Amino acid sequence: MRKTALAAALALSLGTGLAHAQSSDSAGWYGGIDVGHSRLDADGLSDDTGTALGIDGGYRVNRNFAVEAGYEHLGNFSPSYQARALSLSGVGILPLEHGFSVYGKLGVARTQADVVGASDHLYTPVVGAGVYYDVAPRVFLKAGLDHYDKVGGAEISEGSANVYALGVGLRF
Report how far Cα 18 is from the mean position of its chain's Cα atoms. Answer: 24
Per this entry, what is the length of the chain?
172
Q: Three-class SS of residue 85?
A: strand
From residue 31, give the alpha-carbon distance in Å to each of 23, 103, 140. Answer: 19, 16, 10
Work out the percent of the chain whose per-residue pLDDT is above 90.
Answer: 67
Chain mean pLDDT for the chain: 86
Look up the CATH number of domain 2-171: 2.40.160.20
Per-residue pLDDT, 111:
94
DSSP letters, 90-153, are: EEEEEE-STTEEEEEEEEEEEEEEEETTEEEEEEEEEEEEEEEEESSSSEEEEEEEEEEEEES-
Q: Three-class SS of residue 2?
A: helix
From residue 34, give the alpha-carbon distance in Å to each of 58, 110, 115, 132. Answer: 14, 19, 25, 13
Per-residue pLDDT, 46:
79
User: pLDDT (tens digit, 9 = 90+) per residue, 119-155?
Assistant: 898 999 999 999 999 999 999 999 999 999 999 877 7
Per-residue pLDDT, 44:
77
Q: Which residue has the higher pLDDT, 159 or 32?
A: 32
What is the C-alpha separation between 158 and 57, in angstroms, rounded?
A: 28
Q: Which residue has the higher pLDDT, 45 or 82?
A: 82
DSSP state of 47: B
Q: In this predicted structure, which of 55-64, 102-111, 123-132, 150-159 has the lowest mean pLDDT?
A: 150-159
DSSP state of 78: B
Confidence at 112, pLDDT banded by 50, 70, 90: very high
What is the C-alpha separation between 72 and 112, in angstroms, rounded?
A: 11
Per-residue pLDDT, 26:
76
Residue spans of the domains in the chain: they are 2-171
Q: Which residue has the higher pLDDT, 166 or 114?
A: 166
Q: Which amino acid is at 83?
A: A
Do 129 and 97 contact (CB within 8 A), yes or no?
Answer: no
Do 154 and 146 contact (CB within 8 A), yes or no?
Answer: no
Is it the case that residue 160 has pLDDT exceeding 60? yes
